[in-house]
């Protein structure tokens, strides 16, 4: 029978478009539920973060994604957000809204259906280290 269970994972980030592979965390949550078929739903709590998938290799993760985002949401730029709040993370907020906080990954026979070169990542766009939480809901049977 279909059921829904809510968990969360917590971890530290460095900010500055820190891209963290959380695939193992998610697989462990899934394994604990014992569910065989359904969806894992991940939600990033916070407004300077994002969730997506990527081939988790250093070139993309430490350089290419950040460089591309600098083109349209550079960290060093005049943002109204920064001026209003005496803040420095306007670019992080812009990136977060475009990438989005919500991701689902299916599972079948108790296994995530990711591609071979596809990992689940949490993106921390903020300008400083943070403690982060991702809500993980497993819905399935």
Distance between CA 9 and CA 20 in Å, rounded? 13
82-to-44, 89, 93 alpha-carbon distances in Å: 22, 7, 10
The token duo for 68 is 């591309």
Cβ of residue 3: shortest distance to a copy of itself, in angstroms?
Answer: 7
Which residues of this chain interact with a copy of itself, rule CB under 8 A? Answer: 2-4, 6, 37-39, 41, 43, 45-47, 52-55, 57-60, 62-65, 68-69, 71-73, 79-85, 90, 93-94, 96-106, 108, 113-115, 117-118, 121, 135, 137, 139-141
Select 11 or 43, whichever has its Cβ closest to a copy of itself: 43
- Closest residue by Cα to residue 101 from 135, 56, 65, 71: 135
Is the C-alpha dihedral spanning 128, 93, 16, 98 positive or negative?
positive
Cβ of residue 29: shortest distance to a copy of itself, in angstroms?
Answer: 13
Cβ of residue 14: shortest distance to a copy of itself, in angstroms?
Answer: 18
């Amino acid at each position: 029978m279909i059921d829904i269970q809510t968990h969360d994972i917590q971890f530290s980030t460095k900010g500055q478009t820190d891209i963290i592979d959380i695939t193992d965390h998610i697989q462990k949550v899934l394994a604990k539920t014992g569910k065989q078929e359904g969806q894992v739903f991940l939600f990033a709590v916070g407004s300077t973060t994002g969730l997506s998938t990527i081939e988790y290799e250093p070139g993309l993760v430490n350089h290419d994604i950040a460089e591309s985002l600098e083109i349209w949401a550079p960290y060093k730029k005049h943002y109204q957000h920064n001026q209003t709040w005496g803040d420095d993370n306007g670019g992080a907020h812009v990136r977060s809204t475009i990438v989005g906080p919500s991701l689902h990954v299916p599972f079948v026979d108790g296994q995530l259906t990711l591609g071979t070169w596809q990992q689940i990542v949490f993106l921390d766009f903020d300008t400083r280290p943070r403690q982060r939480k991702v809500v993980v809901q497993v819905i399935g049977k």
